[in-house]
Chain A
Amino acid sequence: MTFACRSDFSMELRNLRAEELFLFRAITAAIAEGDSFPWLADPVVGEATDAVEIRDDWENFVRPDLMAASQREVDVLIADLATAQPMAEETGDPAPVPEEDQPGDEDGDLFFATLDPGFMVEIPSAHIDAWYGALNQARLAIESRHRFSSRRVEPADLEAMSPEEQLAFWQWITFAATQEALLRCMEARFDSGS
């Protein structure tokens, strides 16, 4: 998977493999399985009368509003994923095949794997923040369940993981890389004053 931030601050996810697309599409499950709103902790410190008032308002109005906004972020991401296009069809220009993978190479599987240029997803500039937020929700939820931020995962650890934990791990890695690219695009847009 590669990322491109365009001059209009929209983004392209290119060469997205089918399994990476699957990881993104499984975002809803990732959020549902963890504590998806850990940042929505009690916002007020203290027990003074006004603190109680603020807490009541927050529980009744702000928290539902924030949860609805979070759901909208996920909806935007899912809708954009639905527009994923196979890159060969999009460009008519299959990815170049490295010389060592040309027909005749003894590893035929590698040849066919390399030939597939994967998918492309376009993220409009107006959706960048929603994507970042949706992936953040997923990573916060995964972190609440698996604590990957404080673990050093070696290849041998992966083998010992349950399928569910492996899925969460690959989502964690993929979403983090995507967020880094989104963040660079967001920073560029903010600094441009757009």
Chain B
Amino acid sequence: MPYAGTEIITQDKTTTSLALPWNVVLHDDPVNYMGFVTLTIRRVFGYPEAKAEKHMLEVHQLGRSIVWTGAREQAELYVHQLQSHHLTATMEKAGDDI
């Protein structure tokens, strides 16, 4: 029970999460074969060959490709999987991408 003279203030705080999705970015490297990059994208993301090849060519020609966008936990898993195949992969908040 509150002491006399004290006042209890109850404050409701509403936070709305506007979390941005995350991009999974695949980077070029001088060692991995283009065929291996395509195969790994197909395996990890389940993309059809044409889509995987498009990303591979983007990596090869532009140095990087956003291969997936979505929730943070899934992005972390995808980065982990790509790295386990020795591909250089990072994640960044969508909107932060250069």
**Cβ–Cβ contact A133 & B35, under 8 A:** no
**Cβ–Cβ contact A39 & B76, under 8 A:** no
Residues from chain B with a CB closer than 8 A to the CB of A180 are 33
Alpha-carbon distance between A45 and B86 when the two chains are bound, in angstroms: 19
Alpha-carbon distance between A50 and B17 when the two chains are bound, in angstroms: 13
**Tally of chain A residues near chain B (CB < 8 A):** 35
Contact (A183, B79) CB under 8 Å given A46-B96, A140-B31: no
A142 and chain B: residue at smallest CB distance = B31
Interface residues of B in 27-71 (CB under 8 A from A): 29-33, 35-36, 39, 42-43
**Cβ–Cβ contact A48 & B88, under 8 A:** no
Give the distance to chain A from B90, nearest Cβ to Cβ, in Å: 5
Query: For this complex, into which size category does the number of interface residues on chain B fall?
Result: 20 to 34
**Cβ–Cβ contact B36 & A132, under 8 A:** yes
**Cβ–Cβ contact A136 & B96, under 8 A:** no
**Cβ–Cβ contact B91 & A45, under 8 A:** yes
Residues from chain A with a CB closer than 8 A to the CB of B79 are 43
**Cβ–Cβ contact B92 & A140, under 8 A:** no
**Cβ–Cβ contact B91 & A39, under 8 A:** no
> Which residues in B have some Cβ–Cβ distance to A below 8 Å?
25, 29-33, 35-36, 39, 42-43, 72, 76, 79-80, 83-93, 96
20 more contacts with CB within 8 A, not counting A39-B29, A43-B79, A70-B86, are A38-B29, A39-B83, A39-B86, A39-B88, A41-B88, A43-B83, A44-B90, A44-B91, A44-B92, A45-B25, A45-B96, A46-B96, A50-B72, A51-B93, A54-B76, A62-B76, A136-B31, A136-B86, A139-B31, A183-B39
